[in-house]
């Protein structure tokens, strides 16, 4: 997920530490480090993605962690895509995908099964990572395939000190047990965050434009700011 659509909305001087979760190929982490000229802690557990991340780990400001982020600390189940069956490693998740529920029959992927492999990866919570490394991020960026709420809950101790959050949200879940926009937005409002802008199909909006009333899958990227900082 690209984060450059937010660059004109955030004061560079506000940002000293960034967490990028669900890095996929590390390229966005590199871009964040270059734009803000600061340290980025990147997280990616998918072995297929890890290989690419390591090749792209050329910026000394980017600290790469071969880790999932969740409320659990230790081994967890992770569903990586079998690239021989479905060539989209970035859609891997701690949740199983559901190509039936909330998918229109016209969707070319409707009804697909057995495209993911259940593997074991190591997970850490944001709170635990911050405790171990004596840091608190000013900004959290994530693209975690409907695990956003799980990631946010893992940061319950440090969340009041986070200034910005950028994430992707869907109007309806397409992963089993996955969260949607309603879940995320309610959680963030309850924790004193306010929606600033969103980017849907490369169109910047300052009001929520996600097609929430549709029963068919849709998503957009959102920027939230901590109202108390």
Q: Which two tokens stand for residue 5?
A: 């659509």
Kindly list the strands in the beta sheet with 193-200, ordered across the sheet, starting from the edge strand earlier in the chain.
62-65, 39-43, 17-21, 139-142, 164-170, 219-226, 193-200, 203-205
Share of the chain above pLDDT 90, in %: 73
Burial of 59 (0-12, 13-18, 19+ CB in 10 A): middle
DSSP SS3 for 133: helix
Which ranges of the chain would DSSP assign to H, the alpha helix? 27-36, 47-55, 126-133, 148-153, 181-190
Whole-number pLDDT of residue 101: 78
Q: What residue segments make up the domains of the chain, in order of their start?
A: 14-74+125-202
d(C-alpha 211, C-alpha 192), whole Å = 24
pLDDT at 102 over 80: no
Q: Which of 164, 169, 162, 163 is nearest to 199 (CA)?
A: 169
CATH homologous superfamily of 14-74+125-202: Vaccinia Virus protein VP39 (3.40.50.150)
pLDDT band (50, 70, 90) for residue 219? confident
pLDDT band (50, 70, 90) for residue 107? confident
Give the pairing of strands 164-170 and 139-142: parallel
Whole-number pLDDT of residue 156: 97
Q: How high does pLDDT run on average in the chain?
A: 92
Whole-number pLDDT of residue 214: 54
pLDDT at 203 over 90: no
State pLDDT tens for residues 13-24.
999 999 999 999
State pLDDT tens for residues 117-173.
999 999 999 999 999 999 999 999 999 999 999 999 999 999 999 999 999 998 888
State pLDDT tens for residues 54-97.
999 999 999 999 999 999 999 999 999 888 777 777 788 999 98
Whole-number pLDDT of residue 205: 82
pLDDT band (50, 70, 90) for residue 190? very high
Whole-number pLDDT of residue 92: 86
d(C-alpha 142, C-alpha 138), whole Å = 13
Q: Determine the Cα angle at 155 with ends 151 and 156, to 5°.
A: 120
8 A C-beta contact, residue 32 and residue 59: no
């Amino acid at each position: 997920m690209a984060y450059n659509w937010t660059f004109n909305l955030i004061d560079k001087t506000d940002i000293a530490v960034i967490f990028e979760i669900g890095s996929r190929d590390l390229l966005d982490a590199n871009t964040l480090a270059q734009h803000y000229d600061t340290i980025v802690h990147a997280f990616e557990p998918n072995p297929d993605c890890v290989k690419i991340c390591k090749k792209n780990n050329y910026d000394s400001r980017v600290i790469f962690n071969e880790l999932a982020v969740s409320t659990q600390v230790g081994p967890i189940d992770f569903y990586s895509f079998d690239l021989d069956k479905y060539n989209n490693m970035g859609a891997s998740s701690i949740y199983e995908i559901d190509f039936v529920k909330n998918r229109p029959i016209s969707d070319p992927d409707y009804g697909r099964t057995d495209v993911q492999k259940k593997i074991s990866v190591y997970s850490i919570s944001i709170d635990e990572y911050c405790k171990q490394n004596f840091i608190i991020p000013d900004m959290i960026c994530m693209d975690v395939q409907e695990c956003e709420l799980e990631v946010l809950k893992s940061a319950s101790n440090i969340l009041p000190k986070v200034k910005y959050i950028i994430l992707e949200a869907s109007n309806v879940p397409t992963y089993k047990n996955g969260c949607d926009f309603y879940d995320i937005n309610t959680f963030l409002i309850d924790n004193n965050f306010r929606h600033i802008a969103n980017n849907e199909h490369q169109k910047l909006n300052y009001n929520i434009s996600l097609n929430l009333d549709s029963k068919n899958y849709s998503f957009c990227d959102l920027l939230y700011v901590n109202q108390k900082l």
